[in-house]
Structures are given as C-alpha cells and as structure tokens.
Amino acid sequence: MQPRIDYRIYPTLLDAWWKYQNQKLEDFFYQDEQGGWHLNYNEADGTYHYSQEEMDALLEQDLIDKINRVPTEPSEAASKGTIFNEIVDCIIERRGCHHDGWTVESVADENGKKTAIRGALDGFEFLFDAAFCKSVAAYFAGALPQYYIEAVLSVRYGNVLLYGWIDELRKDVVYDLKTTKRYEFGNYAHYWQRHVYPYCLIESGDSKTIKGFEFTVIKWTGGTKYNPVLSGEMYKEYYTYDHCESSALIRQECERFIEWLETNREKITDKKIFNEQ
C-alpha cells in the first residue's frame, strides 16, 4: 500500500527556501525594470540598494510565488538554456525536436554545410554552434535524458514526496546541465538537486547505488551582435554522493521548510505542496 503523502516538494523550492534563509546582503543581485541585473552592494560608495529587511521580504515573496506557481515574464537566459538542453537531448537520442511554440532548425553556410542550429522560444532566438552542441552531446553519450524520479521521505510532520527530472543519468552518476554567463567553481554547491535526485533514485529502487552528482556547466561565449553564434566552455562541478549524509540533510531541511509552510499556510494559494488538488 502506498504511504499517505502530506507534502510534495521538488528541489527548486528547497533552493528558494535555502536562499531565503542564507542569502548574504552584499552578494544579493536584484533586477531593474529594464531586466538588467545588479549587485546589491555598490563598491563605489559603500552603500546597499536594498536593506536586510527589504532583501528578506523580496526573497520570501519569491519563495511564495514559486510555491504558488505565479507566472513570470520569459527570461532570455532561461529560454537559451532550455533550448540548448533540448538540442543536446535530441542529438543524444538521435531524434527531431518538435514542441509547440518552439523552433529548432539547422543553419547551413554558403557551401551547404550545417554549421549552426537556430532555436527560438518565448520570443527569443538563438544561434548555437553545431559542432559545440555535438561535443556536449558526445560527453553524455549513453545517458538517459530527462529521467523522472520520485520517492517518499518520512519526517516528523508526515510523509514528503520528493520529485523532479534528471537532465542526464548515466550508470551511477547523475548530471544536471547548467548554462551561465559567469562561473566560479562551487556556484552550485547549495543546490538541492545533488542530494534529492540520487536519494530518489536509490529509495525508489531505480538504482542500487549512486557514486556522484555532477553539475555540467556551460559558460557561454558568443551570442553578441558581432559574434551571434553561441559556443562555450565546459566546467564540471562534481560531488561524491553519500546516501546517509544526504538523507539526513534533506530530512532536516524539509522539516524546517515545513515548519515555515505551516506558519505561512494562509499565503499559499496553490495547495499542491500540501498534496491538496
């Protein structure tokens, strides 16, 4: 018999919760009305754009909006990453890319050689270097793309269904493909995917053991007016997986999150997180 599910939580919510609890004022980035991103701390005059209280309020509202699945304006960075991930998966699985509202097509040079892949999503259009896309796909050769997982975690307040989609799964290593303009090693150390996804694989019985989790990071180059074709540099942020340690960390974080959820239940309009349809 399936256990009663009291909460449904996926890693992105735990990421937003962690950020709300741990974000440093000086490292906080905010977005202006034109969509540009700025560091909260102004080194020129030593001032902060937002105070601690204002930043906390913004982060809490972002968390609540994620729980309530409030629609957001399309993001160029997110659309670029989504299209690129799909292109890589299509190459791995040797299939076409067919999605409503998406455009993915090869672009040939004057000699008829397919040198780029054009992708369009959410009103944004990108050109990806075809050879680079193939090299990233080759790195994941033999992997299972977009693998859905779920598992139950028992906590003090009931049972939590943890779930999500793994970008690439190969043997005993889980991979998550990230794309970014800037990167330093350790940028994704606090992302909960590296704990939740292996936990779900083992607890669901899909895998007997998981050796590690890798954030495979693509740092973009190109994509400018004078160099429109996107390519990149690949970085590998790898973490050894320890099932006992990760299980304890997930349980502790979920219990703290649930305590906050119950205190703020009246602010939550989408009841899916409480397993209420």
Q: End of a domain among 141, 176, 199?
A: 141
Count up the domains in the chain and report the number: 2
C-alpha to C-alpha distance for 76 and 35, rounded to whole angstroms: 10
192 lies in some domain: yes
Are 148 and 239 part of one and the same domain?
yes
Tokens at 235, concatenated: 């970085």
Mean pLDDT of the region 170-193: 96
Q: Answer yes or no: do 122 and 175 share one domain.
A: no
Cα–Cα distance measured from residue 164 to residue 266, given in angstroms and rounded to the nearest whole number = 26
Are 131 and 168 in the same domain? no
Q: Is residue 258 part of a domain?
A: yes
Mean pLDDT of the 198-222 span: 98
Token pair recorded at residue 239: 């973490």
Query: Could you tell me if 96 and 177 lie in one domain?
Result: no
Tens-digit pLDDT profile for residues 215-272:
999 999 999 989 999 999 999 999 999 999 999 999 999 999 999 999 999 999 999 9
Instruction: Report the amino acid identity of residue 183.
Output: Y
Indicate the pTM of the whole model: 0.92
Asked whether residue 214 is domain-assigned, the answer is yes
Residue 63 lies in a domain: no
By C-alpha distance, which of 113, 88, 92, 112 is closest to 104?
88
Q: How many residues in the chain? A: 277
Judge if 211 and 111 occupy the same domain: no
Beta-sheet strands, E only, within the chain: 7-9, 29-31, 37-39, 41-42, 47-48, 103-108, 114-121, 124-129, 144-155, 158-170, 173-180, 212-221, 229-240
Tokens of 109: 């040079």
Residue 264 vs residue 2, higher pLDDT:
264
- Within this chain, do residues 235 and 151 fall inside the same structural domain, yes or no? yes
Q: Domain boundary at 96, 126, 141, which?
A: 141
How far apart are alpha carbons 224 and 226 in whole angstroms? 5
Cβ count within 10 A of residue 245? 11
Write down which residue in 86, 117, 141 finishes a domain.
141
Higher pLDDT, 2 or 272: 272
In a domain, 191, yes or no: yes
Residue 245 lies inside a defined structural domain of this protein = yes
Count CB atoms within 10 A of the CB of residue 270.
14
pLDDT at 34: 65
Q: Is residue 25 part of a domain?
A: no
Q: Same domain for 172 and 89?
A: no
Q: Are residues 200 and 271 in the same domain?
A: yes
**Same domain membership, residue 170 and residue 124:** no
* The pLDDT value given to residue 99: 76
Same-domain check for residues 202 and 170: yes
- Residue 211: pLDDT band with limits 50, 70, 90: very high
| Domain that includes residue 234, residue range | 1-12+142-277
Given a cut of 90, whether residue 41 has pLDDT beyond it is no
What the block records as the tokens of 276 is: 């209420």
Q: In this structure, is residue 48 part of a structural domain?
A: no
Backbone φ and ψ for 142, nearest 5 degrees, come out as 90, 0
**Contact predicate 167/175, CB 8 Å:** yes
Give the pLDDT confidence of 121-167 residue by residue, as tens digits: 999 999 999 999 999 999 999 999 999 999 999 999 999 999 999 99
Q: Is 113 found in the same domain as 7?
A: no
Output the CA torsion 197→81→15→157 (10° steps): -50
Are 182 and 241 contained in the same domain?
Answer: yes
